A and B are shown apart, each in its own frame.
Chain A
């Protein structure tokens, strides 16, 4: 059964703590994306990766970091520098980053809350 998995479903962060959100896909997609969704707002792009060992900043990358060591995995770390991390985080993938015919597929999301 192909798809994208995200874990955990809920994550609690203490002040000053770094936390890592997991995203795994078995769709054999080259491109992966991380988005942040706040209530009443659309999705905003944090980072994206077109291929293994390469990633680019999106529109709101400050306070976040990523790695892409394997094709199927694209973890997101929310660092202590991110002062307002409470949000719903969504991971997505597509077969290629370029091109007009590429559908984005989304994971179920991780809700991050600050204690």
Chain B
């Protein structure tokens, strides 16, 4: 059974720092991995999708990598800003279903 773990559960950093969020999964047979952002009381917004054949994807200050063989993905956020404060969730896709991690709650201090 696929399990997805995100470490750390919470993170607080000063503005301007570069930071890395981690996501690990137990079954490497995935179709893709997606990173989402969730603001308090809101739905999820897709940040990046990495297909199983890809190693990384970039969007602005965000870079996500995928290592299927080791069951790991990282989300790199460059030059963090207070507006980046949110919960970040990763999800891996099987044949039809997505399995979500519990998220990393990020707070960027001004």
Q: Does B31 contact A (CB under 8 A)?
A: yes
**Whole-angstrom CA separation of A14 from B15 in the bound complex:** 45
Interface residues of A in 24-60 (CB under 8 A from B): 33, 35, 40-45, 48, 50, 56, 58
**Whole-angstrom CA separation of A21 from B105 in the bound complex:** 28
**Whole-angstrom CA separation of A104 from B46 in the bound complex:** 7
Complex contacts, B95 vs chain A, CB 8 Å: 98
Task: List the interface of chain A (C-beta within 8 A of B).
Answer: 4, 6, 33, 35, 40-45, 48, 50, 56, 58, 88, 90, 92, 97-109, 111
Checking A6, A100, A104 against B98 with a beta-carbon cut-off of 8 angstroms, the contacting residue is: A104
- The residue in chain A whose Cβ has the minimal distance to the Cβ of B48 is A103
A-B CB pair tally, cutoff 8 Å: 65
Q: Does B43 contact A (CB under 8 A)?
A: yes
- The residue in chain A whose Cβ has the minimal distance to the Cβ of B97 is A45
Complex contacts, B41 vs chain A, CB 8 Å: 88, 109, 111
Q: Does B61 contact A (CB under 8 A)?
A: no
Task: List the interface of chain B (C-beta within 8 A of A).
Answer: 4, 31-32, 34, 36, 41-46, 49, 51-53, 89, 91, 93, 95-98, 100-103
A97–B96 touching, CB < 8 Å = yes
Nearest chain B CB to A91's CB is how many angstroms away?
Answer: 8
B97–A40 touching, CB < 8 Å = no
- The residue in chain A whose Cβ has the minimal distance to the Cβ of B105 is A40
A103–B49 touching, CB < 8 Å = yes
Across the A-B interface, give the 4 residue pairs with the lowest CB-CB distance, nearest first. A42-B100, A100-B31, A106-B43, A106-B44
**Whole-angstrom CA separation of A56 from B96 in the bound complex:** 10
A100–B96 touching, CB < 8 Å = no
**Whole-angstrom CA separation of A98 from B102 in the bound complex:** 24
- The residue in chain B whose Cβ has the minimal distance to the Cβ of A97 is B96
A48–B97 touching, CB < 8 Å = yes
B43–A107 touching, CB < 8 Å = yes
Nearest chain A CB to B22's CB is how many angstroms away?
Answer: 15
Complex contacts, B52 vs chain A, CB 8 Å: 100
A101–B49 touching, CB < 8 Å = yes
**Whole-angstrom CA separation of A92 from B45 in the bound complex:** 11
